[in-house]
Structure 1
Amino acid sequence: MTDLVRDEFANHSMYSDGDIDSNQTDNPALGALVDRRLSRRATILGGARATGAAVFGSTLLTACGGEDSPFSLTSNDSATGTIVATAGSMVDISAPSSGTAGSGPSTSGLTISQIDGSPVTLLSDEGLPGSFIAPAVSRPTEFSFSVMKDGRRVERKVKVEPAKLKFKAVDKNITDEVTVPKGYSVAILTALGDPILAGVPAFQNDGTDANYAGRIGDHGDALYYFGLGVKTGRRDDNSSLRGILAQNHENLNIQYLHPNGPTTSASGTRPEEEAMKEIEAHGVSFVEIRDTAKLGSGEGSRKGGDGGKKIPSTWEFVQGGPLNRRVTPNTPTEIYGPVRGSDLLKTKFSPAGTAGRGTINNCANGVTLWASLLTCEENWAFYFLRSGDDAQRSPEELVALRRYGVTSSTGNYGWASVSASAWPQDVFDKWDARAKTDDPADAVTDYRNEPNQYGWVVEIDPYNPNAAPRKRTALGRFAHEGAWLGKITRGRPVSVYMGDDSRNEYFYKFVSAAKWDPQDALAEDRLAVGDKYLDNGTLYVARFNEDGTGTWLPLVFGQVPNPAGYEFADQADILVHARLAADAVGATTMDRPEWTATNPVTGEVYLTLTNNRASSRPITAVNAPNPRFYNDPSPASANNYGNPNGHIVRIRERESNPGATRFTWDVYLFGADSQDPDQPGVDRNISELGNANDFSSPDGLWFSRPQNAGGQVAPLAWIQTDDGSMDDRTNDQMLVAFPGKVGDGDRITVGGMDAAGMASSQQTVMGTAATSANLRRFLVGPNECEITGVDSTPDGRTLFVGIQHPGEDGTPDAPSSNWPQSQSGNQSGRPRSGVVAITKDDGGVVGL
């Protein structure tokens, strides 16, 4: 996800995280070429600026939260006597205080019952007998309550209005801490190196720590909270007090992982101990967490990172929890789906082509309705040594290897160079993907096919640590950013939406052959349910048309023409080489397709397109879904031409059917720096962003959970950035939005200009422009980090956010961030990726 290529140490780094273009086909950017007139754009959709609404309260009922302060409280609506609150806010029904001014109301002897309106849940189990969370509503809705206090009975009406963004937008800043709005608190939950397995010692953070197979890994990415019953410790999708936090670990800040950074011998080999530490710091972690304010600290509970010094945290992780688990590149895995047993997956480790080891470069994720995790292997290709064996490869093999970028002369971090003594030699040899002979039958004697074991969506059961992860090959092999399910309906197929995170790659969809049976949602054998819905079906790739419509093109053997230099043998071949198949059918190339997210109410699917460069997509290749071309000078370069700020596309399936082969689309938002000057003939800030909501390079994307007001009626969308263009003004950030619907805007024409002065004019379809009412900055992260990974408790009252690679450009002697220590004011120590828990001080739904 990080948009960079950097030398981490001599000859062994060159880690590239999606900032590449291995698509050398002549595919047009659209299904059909169009006449692009070179003129100024014709029109831009405007929009009225909305303002925040006042929140009303009283001594008997308080509606907390406001745009300019954490507790905005005004008088009753004197005309009606009705109390007004907004969806998601904390409402407190209590008797007038008998104490001095400013003291809290007494709830002794208070009895409350609801008279009218949809039932609400009073928070009596939290010691708040007169409080509830205002429910989601589509229009102002009244609720009536009977309040008994000291023998007196009064009736109170509460009018709940639709949800609003009430917090004051966080200012752009470059400070080494996580900044959130007034009225919110942030605390460290977990961080790199925290011990999650029993017996693993506390983290020293000086490069001497080992056994990362028992610790939180590095570069935390996408995350998900799986609920646990408070007493049973079993799956409970609605538990907001105890759960399992699953998190991907994409890559490494390798300079901080060892005492003095990584080392390489004079002969070019890596030390075994260092290499194993690096390998184990990748993968996925599962750790039990609990709200200790309500449950108390369980045995082994610990605050993560630097938590607890100055900032109170009610959440802790439980070391040695029975479901705690690390999945690393060494963990046994199983191959499932159409590619299982294919010759393309046969290796020395698995001559049958049915088993493998581990998962790596896990980026975004997804979750199933049957409560399993879908973790996604993104930039796996660069970990393999694979050069110098062209003579042992067939011409078709070379076409495929080059299309996926499996061409390194060392592999990331040089793991294939290790001469092992403490660990089996085989765990290092597998990163050497060179063919030792030119006989295909000898594939079972080396690891020439090992790269084909990666690039998949991997399903893991978080509630069964003994179940081996399953690689779901029906979903295709590429640089998977994420895999998010579409809206699921009884009797219709299950769909999975996926971006291929590299420049000029594609947007994919898988549609199951099986139709959804709601009884499967609660099955105990979750991976068996995955077998049913994820192993058989059709993989499609998207073609976007200029008129705002699109087509899903099936990648089915017999229907896909052979690309230049390659001939598909069967369906397994197409799935292993999905990029080649997408090339052949004429799919639309996109500006780095990254996260997908599904609106839980409308079912519309959103896709972040992080950015693109002129070197990959020149001005002559702009297209309707990727229409911009301009220069946004960055701190690193005065020439930053292309689409450096990125945008977000959304689609609506025809008849809202996940199995449809037609869709409509528009561009929901264009990223931009609102402070950059306008350039004649160039359309840059198309979404009319301002200081409260401008952003660059959208990456992470998530909708609030449907169990709470944030995910109902008009769900909140959370947008996270991975920026290299706007970081002279602000660290990476997270915004929250009410995103509207496909078609709520209009057609526009976008003008652009390249470094040579050539102009472009591209028509596209754009959503309603942003305002402070529908898009605001909620969080800014510490120095040199990326904001990635977000989820909440089911009740929406705690938000978990990932902070990845703070201080990535520093050194052990001069770290460029001290986070998470700096969150508590400690400006020392090596930086660590981590997860923060964010709560609203009044106890309401985060974001509302």
Structure 2
Amino acid sequence: MNKQNNTQITSADPDDIGNNQSGNASFDSVLEARISRRSILRGGLGGAAAMMFGGVALGGALTACGGGGSSDSAAPTPAPTPAPTPTPAPAARFNFNPVAKNVLDALTIPAGYSAAVLFALGDPINNATAAYKNDGSDDALSFDFRAGDHHDGMNYFGLNAAGTARDPNGSERGLIAMNHEHITDAFLHVAGATAPGGIRPQAEVDKEIRAHGVAVIEVQKTAGKFQLNRGSSYNRRITAQTPMELNGPARGSDYMKTAYSTAGTQGRGTVNNCATGDTPWGTFLTCEENWAGYFSRTGDVSANRSAAELASFTRYGVPSAASGKRWDTAGAADVYKRWNVAASGASAAADFRNEANTFGYVVEIDPYSASSTPRKRTHLGRFAHECAVYAPVAAGKPVVFYMGDDSRNEYIYKYVSKAVWDPADAGRGLAAGDKYLDEGTLYVAKFNADGSGTWLPLTLANTAISGYAGFSFKTVADICVNTRIAADAAGATKMDRPEWCSVNPKNGEVYYTLTNNSNRVTTGASGSKLLPDAANPRAYEDMKGSTKQTGNVNGHIIRTAEAGADPAATSFKWDVYVFAAEAKAGAAVNLSSLTDDNDMSSPDGIWFSPKSGILWIQTDDGAYTDTTNCMMLAALPGKVGDGGAIKVANSVGGTALEVTTQKGKNPDGETLRRFLVGPKDCEITGIAETPDGKTLFVNIQHPGEDTKVADLGDPSKFTSHWPAGGTARPRSATVVITKDDGGTIGLTL
């Protein structure tokens, strides 16, 4: 997620770099392959715009039985009247018309719906903090009590009417826990961040550290509309400096020992929090994605580092010298020094050489306890976590979580707890997390070309790992901290950037977004360059204006069905639910026959509504933005196996490659349609819903991010002014979407 560009200090998007140089093929075999040569709230949009785009572009600040009698006669007994065939239930139908693609600097939603901004960058979360100025001048330390930047994944946690206790069905009052993934430093500071190179000012770094992390806020319906309760005792910010407990097998290991925690049991902060999850026991899971680029190794001497350390740095993309953020340059205090992982002291307990080992995890937070300390759950593995979502729980059965590693050529994982589910643990918070998340088995997925798959255990009992020549795995902590290397050893399938995942509440099938992969080629595969395979079957050329884009440009969504419908099974079936593509693309690319009402590019966020069963799909796109801003679509998907095998004809640079894959039934306008389009330069990401299904919360991330720092003095050159409009700086924000008649979002139930 998190498209990075010239408005930020960091360089390329870490998702697009890829650090998997393992020899794993995407598949052991391919059935058939042959190579041959040959932007809501901007004013001025009236009814005409609404009609043009098929929605509203918002302005403002927002049995019968047969029977026969007996007779002594020999007359034949009449045949019984057959029972009438039951009338099938009507198919679920969307209650909105599709919104058209557009490049407006507005949030465009369907007619009959309304939206309003709830919580934007810099908004105070208490009554003591001043309103946000939105000119870059707000005090850095005040961000301990303000909304952070780049609103991302979020979850809703219900409260009772008094706001005093958890109520899973509370739809009038609740808590929202949300990620603040990154920053658009052009707008966070008065004149953008200090130019690359040299020393960063402390005031800038202090603000950036606090603008990352997580916010927990209470929201409540007042006069029929949700508002932030600034006086709530639940409200809190968790930043890149907040104390954390390190839990699971890596706790107390040599990997975790630093000058801050010589026992290796604690760490500080969470960064680049992308997607999320919740738990059956009522806690929030935030996931650390592109954390590696926050660190520096300035002054480190490779000859003084072990081969294992160097292998880990390389596999995770920890820089070999200065980092893009350069937070470590802002001063001698350890709040800054900790971002440099050079071995500068006499031992690990004297410096921060292991600091990077304390990042890359799923972090568990109790939203109902503002005084609780978050826990980093190391047994769920260390990688660029996107999300962690659980399968439906059953008493006496393990608890299972699914996860993706968002980088090119990375893997899909699941975790199966050792403890079995006890319904008495619902609502027990972090204590239940200790029970279920600190001991279990981590698996990685291998997709076979025939539509089957295997979950490979990442354990020392797996001889592919314990006997791996490329790295010495002796303890479970070795696996938990070096999960990517263990997955390489196990022989997992390299995927096209696994991002969010979600479990279909109707049948337990799991959907994963594979956003894109520019490293798919049709010839000359080596290193990070991969041939297409059955689970990642496309490599093609696409033009964006005069620029040629190659690889799996638009991405796809894959889905799995566990053997025997058992989440703890070690095998599964799979197919591709939908291939993202431009409607105008040829049949070899637009394999799912998408139309102008439902075409998309780079699916990223994905989430099933427990109430309606809608699968919401959100995009983070750079390939189709000459035609449309990022969007959110509603889907009513079928199930694994509702389609069949197809051949995909790929071509890059004149080289053809045909691949056989497993494809689901094509969606149509009744099962997939566009629900909204965001403002300029944004990503649509993060979604939550009240239990009654009548209120939807959606995050609009980094509108206007393509604005150049050099243009900050001229608001007319800002690429977006959403949500305030006029000449205002744009802000990431959470919007509340409701149906004007008070009905369920998306479907009439």
After TM superposition, the score normalised by the length of structure 1 is: 0.79
Structure 1 segment 793-812 matched on structure 2, within 5 A? 793-810=690-707, 811=709, 812=712
Q: Do the aligned partners of 2:226 and 2:736 also contact (CA within 8 Å) in 1? A: yes
Whether 1:372 and 2:283 are equivalent positions in the alignment is yes
Q: Is this contact kept in 1: 2:458–2:479, CA < 8 A?
A: yes
Answering whether residue 648 of structure 2 is matched by residue 750 of structure 1, we say: yes
Aligned residue in 2 for 1:221: 152
Matched, 1:505 2:410: yes
- Tell me how far 1:617 sits from its aligned partner: 8.4
Is residue 431 of structure 1 aligned with residue 339 of structure 2? yes
Q: Could you tell me how far apart the structure 2 residues matched to 1:276 and 1:140 are?
A: 64
SS of equivalent to 2:223: helix
What is the CA distance between 1:614 and its match in structure 2?
Answer: 3.3
Q: Does 1:837 align with 2:746?
A: no
Instruction: Tell me by how many angstroms 1:577 deviates.
Output: 0.3
Is the Cα contact below 8 Å between 2:614 and 2:634 reproduced in 1?
A: yes
Residue identity in the other structure for 1:587:
A
**Structure 1 position 622 matched with structure 2 position 532:** yes
Match of 1:776 in 2: 673
2:522–2:651 CA contact under 8 A, matched in 1: no
Kept in 1: contact 2:400–2:415 (CA 8 A): yes
Tell me the CA shift for residue 379 of structure 1.
0.3
Note if contact 2:54-2:110 (Cα within 8 Å) is conserved in structure 1: no
Partners of 1:411 and 1:485 in 2: how far apart? 35
Greater Cα shift, 620-629 or 452-461: 620-629
**Correspondence 1:331 to 2:238:** no
Residue of structure 1 in register with 2:72 after alignment? none
Q: Secondary structure at the match of 1:612?
A: coil
Name which of 263, 266, 290 aligns with 1:355: 266
Q: CA deviation at 1:616?
A: 7.8
Compared CA separation, residues 702 and 69, structure 1 to 2 (3 A): closer
Cα deviations by residue, 1:176-224 (Å, 9 ceiling, x for unpaired):
1111111101111110000003311110101011211110000000011
SS state at 1:595 partner: strand
Please give the per-residue CA displacement for 1:570-594, whole angstroms capped at 9, x wherever unaligned: 1100110000000011100000000
In structure 1, distance between residues paired with 2:489 and 2:210: 38
Instruction: Find the residue that maps to 2:204 and give its secondary structure.
Output: helix
Superposed counterparts of 1:700-779, under 5 Å: 700-705=605-610, 708=611, 710=612, 715-755=613-653, 757-779=654-676
Distance 2:144 2:431 in 1: 27
Q: Give the direction of change, closer, same or farther, for the CA distance of 1:329–1:69 in structure 2 (3 Å limit).
A: closer
The equivalent residue for 1:646 is 555
Q: Which residue of 1 aligns with 2:685?
A: 788
Partner of 1:60: none
- In structure 1, give the amino acid aligned to 2:574: W
Per the TM alignment, residue 369 of structure 1 is displaced from its structure 2 partner at its CA by 1.1
Corresponding residue for residue 439 of structure 2? 536
Please tell me the root mean square deviation across aligned C-alpha atoms, in Å: 2.0
Is the contact made by 1:798 and 1:839 (CA closer than 8 Å) also made in structure 2? yes
CA–CA distance in structure 1, aligned partners of residues 108 and 313 of structure 2 = 44
* 1:28 alignment partner in structure 2: 25
Q: Does 1:6 align with 2:5?
A: yes
Query: How much has 1:675 moved relative to structure 2?
Result: 2.0
Give, in whole Å, the separation in 2 of the partners of 1:734 and 1:337: 36
SS of aligned partner of 2:433 = helix
Q: Give the CA deviation at 1:548.
A: 0.4
Rounded to whole Å, the distance in 1 between the matches of 2:385 and 2:25 is 22
Distance in 2, matches of 1:336 and 1:426, equals: 23
Is 1:578 the counterpart of 2:483? The answer is: yes
Partner of 2:198: 268
- CA apart distance, 1:32: 3.9
Task: Tell me the distance in 2 between the aligned counterparts of 1:431 and 1:519.
Answer: 41
Distance 2:115 2:330 in 1: 42
> What's the counterpart of residue 150 of structure 1?
none
State how far apart, in whole Å, the 1-side matches of 2:521 and 2:251 are. Answer: 35
Q: Relative to 1, partners in 2 of residues 1:546 and 1:363: Cα closer, same or farther, differing over 3 Å?
A: same
1:411-422 mapped onto 2 (5 Å cutoff): 411-419=323-331
Alignment of 1:176 with 2:105, yes or no, is yes
> Structure 1 residues 617 and 790 mapped into 2: Cα distance closer, same or farther (>3 Å)?
farther
Output the CA distance in 2 between the equivalents of 1:403 and 1:68.
47
Gap change, CA 1:350 and 1:616, over 3 Å in 2 = farther
Q: CA deviation at 1:393?
A: 0.7
Deviation string, structure 1 residues 117-138 (Cα, Å, up to 9, x no partner): xxxxxxxxxxxxxxxxxxxxxx
Amino acid at match of 1:399: A
Question: Shift of the alpha carbon at 1:488?
Answer: 1.4
Deviation at 1:68, TM superposition (A): 8.8
Q: Distance in 1 between matches of 2:29 and 2:467?
A: 20
- Give the distance between the partners of 1:34 and 1:349, measured in 2 at CA: 53
Q: Which amino acid aligns with 2:547?
A: A
**Alignment match, 1:394:** 306
In 2: Cα distance, 1:748 partner to 1:161 partner: 31
Partner of 2:68: none
Please give the alpha-carbon distance, in whole angstroms, between the structure 2 residues aligned to 1:726 and 1:191: 26
- How do 1:258-337 and structure 2 match up within 5 A? 258-263=189-194, 268-294=198-224, 314-337=225-248
Which of 479, 482, 492 is residue 384 of structure 2 equivalent to?
479
Match of 2:569 in 1: 660
**What letter corresponds to residue 667 of structure 2 in structure 1?**
A
1:390 partner amino acid: S
After superposition, the Cα gap between the structure-2 partners of 1:615 and 1:609, relative to the gap in structure 1 and judged at 3 Å, is closer
Q: Is it true that 1:189 corresponds to 2:118 in the alignment?
A: yes
Letter in 1 for 2:481: V
- CA 15–276 in structure 1, closer or farther in 2 if over 3 Å, else same: farther
Q: Is the 8 A contact 1:486 1:495 kept in 2?
A: yes
Any conservation in 2 of the 1:375–1:482 contact (CA below 8 Å)? yes
Question: Which one-letter code corresponds to 2:168 in the other structure?
Answer: D
Please list the CA deviations of residues 12-59 of structure 1 after superposition, one character each: whole Å capped at 9, or x if unmatched: 52253411110011111014465512479xxxxxxxxxxxxxxxxxxx
Identify if the C-alpha distance between structure 1 residues 69 and 617 changes in structure 2 by more than 3 Å, giving closer, same or farther: closer
Q: How far did residue 672 of structure 1 move?
A: 0.2
Segments of 5+ residues of structure 2 without an aligned counterpart are 38-52, 57-85
Output the CA distance in 2 between the equivalents of 1:647 and 1:349: 43
TM-score when scaled to structure 2? 0.89
Equivalent-residue separation in structure 2 for 1:68 and 1:830 (angstroms) = 28
Judging changes above 3 Å, is the alpha-carbon distance between structure 1 residues 642 and 482 closer, same or farther for their aligned structure 2 residues?
same
Cα distance in 1 between the residues matched to 2:12 and 2:323:
9
AA aligned to 1:725 is A
CA contact (8 A) 1:229 1:236 kept: yes
Name the aligned partner's letter for residue 358 of structure 1. G
The one-letter amino acid paired with 2:558 is V
Q: Is 1:200 the equivalent of 2:148?
A: no
Change beyond 3 A, Cα 1:14–1:778:
same
- Distance in 2 between residues matched to 1:617 and 1:553, nearest whole Å: 28
Task: Write the letter of the residue equivalent to 2:199.
Answer: T
**Which residue of the partner structure matches residue 147 of structure 1?**
none
1:789-816 CA-to-partner distances (Å, cap 9, x unmatched) read: 0111111111100000000011433321
Does the residue aligned with 2:232 lie in a helix, a strand or coil?
A: coil
Structure 1 716/39 Cα, relative in aligned 2: closer, same or farther at 3 Å? farther
The Cα shift of 1:389 comes to: 2.4
Q: Distance in 2 between matches of 1:570 and 1:246?
A: 34
- Supply the distance in 1 between the matched residues of 2:380 and 2:446 (Cα, whole angstroms): 18
- TM-superposed CA distance for 1:69, in Å, is 9.6
Among 563, 579, 586, the alignment partner of 1:670 is 579
CA shift, 1:758, in A, is 1.0
Distance 1:340 1:460, change over 3 A: same
Q: Deviations over 1:545-600 (max 9, x none)?
A: 00100000000024214545421121100110000000011100000000010111
Are the counterparts in 2 of residues 503 and 616 from structure 1 also a CA contact under 8 Å? no
